[in-house]
Amino acid sequence: MNRKKLFSIIAVLLLLVVSGAAVLVLFTKRNQNSAPVSAVQMFSFNSGLEHEKRDDAYRTTYQIFVYSFCDSNGDGIGDLNGIRSKLDYIQDLGFDEIWLTPVHPSPTYHKYDVTDYYGIDPEFGSLEDYDLLLKECHERGIRVLMDLVVNHTAYAHEWFQKASDYLHELPSDWEPDPSYCPYFDYYQFSREPKDGYAPLQDTNWYYEARFWSGMPDLNLDSPVVREEIQKIASFWFGRGVDGFRLDAVTSYHTGDPEANVGFMKWFCQTCRTLKPDCYIVGEAWTDRNAIAKLYESGIDSLFDFPFAGNDGIIRNTISHSVKASDFVNVMISLDEQYRSSNPGYIDAPFYTNHDIARSAGYYALDEGPETKMAYGLSLLMSGNSFVYYGEEIGMKGSGKDENKRAPMYWSDSPDDSDLCAGPPDMDQVKMKFPSVADQMTDDLSILNWFREVISVRNAFPVIARGSIEASNISTDTVAAFYKVDPEERNVLIIINLGDEETSCDLSSEADGYSMVAVLNTSEEWITLEEKTLTLPGHSIAVFAEDLS
Ligand code: CA
């Protein structure tokens, strides 16, 4: 080998070493600048999605049971300042509305028996705390729904106490005179025992109390009671409340749907006069026909109970006792039924709430995918989708009501001052899935699934606002449907509810659509080759119209 040749070889080797080092430096730099790449496809695939905001009532709402959510002052009771300290958490998950269970003064922990409709229970904070919470929510674009309980008051409410005092003093052979005591007309009193009535102690009177004797039912036909309710709504709208969740609307006039429609119609019209863009959602824990009837009131929303709970349509679809294709058909038929009563209705899908056993207990063998898919279905439904706090981490809680309202499981640390003690008389609730703190760092956690599903819901406004059209791709285990709205970019959603991988032939569907989002419950990737979509078990693909 001559010297010249040796010199060239050394030069080439040097060049290789130098360029190799440069590549290594570049590679290291790139990895220092970005988070490590997740093996879960959705985090990279969906990374470009952004929240397409609309100024309307189609929201994703987080239901907070105030007593058990977050404690700010160390007394073990959740409070308004605690909620305010968690707004980053709520917003980061993509929620843009919160519904707080009642916050008014009340003798119970749940506060569904109100003693003062104009105050805040001292356990939860003050009016100033409530104002500050409203202000900070509004700055973040989060709307706030107040739980309004007007079917009944607390026994200890001043109105009932005054009526009761009057009847105690009234000679037994005298007729009551509402002009002397107007509060007599606020409730339903009777000299005869009746179904749903409780005896008024030390008198020969009875009063309507459908839930229990501590909750006397208001007389909602009374003009003076309606005047009081109008004043209450006006007071809270004046402070900035965006709308109301109405408790127990089927009990307003028990067994008289027509009268319930009448009261709700009056209430909604009254609220719209006070605040034209307010939003009202009612709790009618009943079947689809009864819900459809109540939509005649013109109320914006009624919770979609047929889909919820352990015996609802979502649960039965997940366990395959309802075919995936029928899940789509039921969504379409319920939409038609509700729409025929109120063309402007907004569906209010949900899966659980503070009265229903938590969903993680529905699937004994589930390690996450079934809980995730149930919320995939619920959160991809049209309307205003509601999620009960703690469901986003698969909390457990069943049996007595207190157990369904267990403290939000922020972390395992006994020093975590956010943790609440939980309702008195609650059993020890053993959790199945890790805490918020632990799920934050696990790509495949239920928490990260929720954030990703909501980000897809928020990126394509048609998912909440569109009407539903069936796709021929649906099978017994694949639910496929379009969301269509002339004002929005339409989507096709394809959900594999089976455990096994499946392939879908898209040659007759999704013409002019592209795959825009994926949702995975494992590290298996969703692939699209030509017109063949391959979905691993328990995964979702979303296609959207190509932008012209
Ligand atoms: Ca507290």
Entry pTM: 0.93
Split at pLDDT 50, 70, 90, the class of 37 is: confident
DSSP type of residue 177: -
C-alpha span between 400 and 423 (Å, rounded): 11
Q: Cα of 424 to ligand 1 centre, how many Å? A: 14
**Is 35 inside a domain boundary?**
no
Contact 496, 536 (CB under 8 A): yes
DSSP type of residue 101: P
**Is 44 inside a domain boundary?**
no
C-alpha span between 49 and 464 (Å, rounded): 16
- Can you read off the two tokens belonging to residue 451? 């954030």
Q: Cα of 121 to ligand 1 centre, how many Å? A: 11
Contact 399, 427 (CB under 8 A): yes
pLDDT at 450 over 90: yes
Encode 98-124: b = buried (16+ Cβ within 10 Å), e = exposed: bbbbbbbbbebbbbbbbbebeebbebb
Split at pLDDT 50, 70, 90, the class of 28 is: very low
- Can you read off the two tokens belonging to residue 452? 């990703």
Q: Do 255 and 373 belong to one domain?
A: yes
pLDDT at 10 over 70: no
* pLDDT for res 399: 97
> Which one has a higher pLDDT value, 205 or 26?
205
Q: How far apart are the first and last CA of the chain?
A: 65
SS (H, E, C) 429-494: CCCCCCCHHHHHCCCCCHHHHHHHHHHHHHHCCHHHHCEEEECCCCCCCEEEEEEECCCCCCEEEE
Split at pLDDT 50, 70, 90, the class of 510 is: confident
Q: Cα of 409 to ligand 1 centre, how many Å? A: 16
Q: How many residues does this entry show for the chain?
A: 548
Q: Dmax of the chain from CA atoms?
A: 132
pLDDT at 23 over 80: no
Q: Do 299 and 385 belong to one domain?
A: yes
Q: Sign of torsion, CA 278 284 288 293?
A: negative
**Is 327 inside a domain boundary?**
yes
* pLDDT for res 380: 98
Q: Cα of 72 to ligand 1 centre, how many Å? A: 5
Beta strands per DSSP E along 170-241? 189-190, 197-199, 206-208
**Is 12 inside a domain boundary?**
no
pLDDT at 148 over 60: yes
Q: Do 225 and 198 belong to one domain?
A: no
| pLDDT, average across residues 130-144 | 98
C-alpha span between 392 and 353 (Å, rounded): 13
Q: For residue 494, list its beta bridge partners.
A: 480, 541
Q: Do 368 and 253 belong to one domain?
A: yes
* pLDDT for res 195: 95
Split at pLDDT 50, 70, 90, the class of 14 is: low
Split at pLDDT 50, 70, 90, the class of 32 is: very low
Please enumerate in sequence order all residues whose Cβ is within 8 A of that of 127, keeping only pairs 6 or more positions apart, or say none.
119, 120, 239
Q: Do 394 and 522 belong to one domain?
A: no
**Is 386 inside a domain boundary?**
yes
Number of domains in the chain: 3
Q: Do 231 and 342 belong to one domain?
A: yes
- Residue 316: closest CA among 451, 479, 492, 467: 479
Average of per-residue pLDDT values in the chain: 94
Q: Do 327 and 407 belong to one domain?
A: yes
Provide the residue type at 200 as one letter: L
Q: Cα of 534 to ligand 1 centre, how many Å? A: 50
* Of 432, 459, 486, the domain-final residue: 459
Contact 386, 302 (CB under 8 A): no
Q: Sign of torsion, CA 341 345 351 353?
A: negative
Q: Tokens 């495949």: give the residue.
A: 444
75-122: pLDDT as tens digits: 999 999 999 999 999 999 999 999 999 999 999 999 999 999 999 999
**Is 39 inside a domain boundary?**
no
* Of 419, 439, 459, the domain-final residue: 459
Helix%, strand%, coil% for the chain, nearest 5: 35, 15, 45
Q: Cα of 92 to ligand 1 centre, how many Å? A: 23
528-540: pLDDT as tens digits: 999 999 999 999 9
Residue 314: Cβ within 10 Å count: 27
- Can you read off the two tokens belonging to residue 407? 């403290």
* Of 405, 434, 459, the domain-final residue: 459
DSSP type of residue 296: G
Please enumerate in sequence order all residues whose Cβ is within 8 A of that of 546, keeping only pairs 6 or more positions apart, or say none.
512, 513, 514
Q: Which domain holds residue 164?
A: 158-208
Q: Cα of 101 to ligand 1 centre, how many Å? A: 15
Helix (H) or strand (E) holding 491: strand 491-496
Contact 127, 172 (CB under 8 A): no
Q: Do 385 and 494 belong to one domain?
A: no
Q: Cα of 75 to ligand 1 centre, how many Å? A: 5
- Residue 126: closest CA among 190, 81, 175: 81
Q: Do 202 and 332 belong to one domain?
A: no
* pLDDT for res 507: 93
**Is 26 inside a domain boundary?**
no
Backbone angle region of 493, left / alpha / beta, with phi > 0 → left and psi within -120 to 50 → alpha: beta
364-416: pLDDT as tens digits: 899 999 999 999 999 999 999 999 999 999 999 999 999 999 999 999 998 99
| pLDDT, average across residues 208-237 | 97
Split at pLDDT 50, 70, 90, the class of 548 is: confident
Please enumerate in sequence order all residues whose Cβ is within 8 A of that of 289, keeping only pairs 6 or more positions apart, or say none.
337
**Is 86 inside a domain boundary?**
yes
Contact 274, 243 (CB under 8 A): no
Q: Cα of 62 to ligand 1 centre, how many Å? A: 20
- Residue 467: closest CA among 383, 372, 360, 367: 383
Q: Which residues are catalytic?
A: 247, 283
| pLDDT, average across residues 468-496 | 97
Instruction: Provide, rounded to the nearest whole percent, the portion of the chain with pLDDT above 70.
Output: 93
Q: Do 357 and 476 belong to one domain?
A: no
* pLDDT for res 30: 41
Q: Cα of 79 to ligand 1 centre, how many Å? A: 5
Say whether 171 sits in a helix, a strand or coil. Answer: coil
Q: Cα of 407 to ligand 1 centre, how many Å? A: 12
299-314: pLDDT as tens digits: 999 999 999 999 999 9
Q: How far is CA 470 from the centre of its chain?
A: 25
What is the chain's alpha carbon radius of gyration, rounded to the nearest angstrom?
Answer: 28
Domain containing residue 517: CATH number: 2.60.40.1180
Provide the residue type at 55 as one letter: D
pLDDT at 446 over 60: yes
C-alpha span between 496 and 172 (Å, rounded): 69
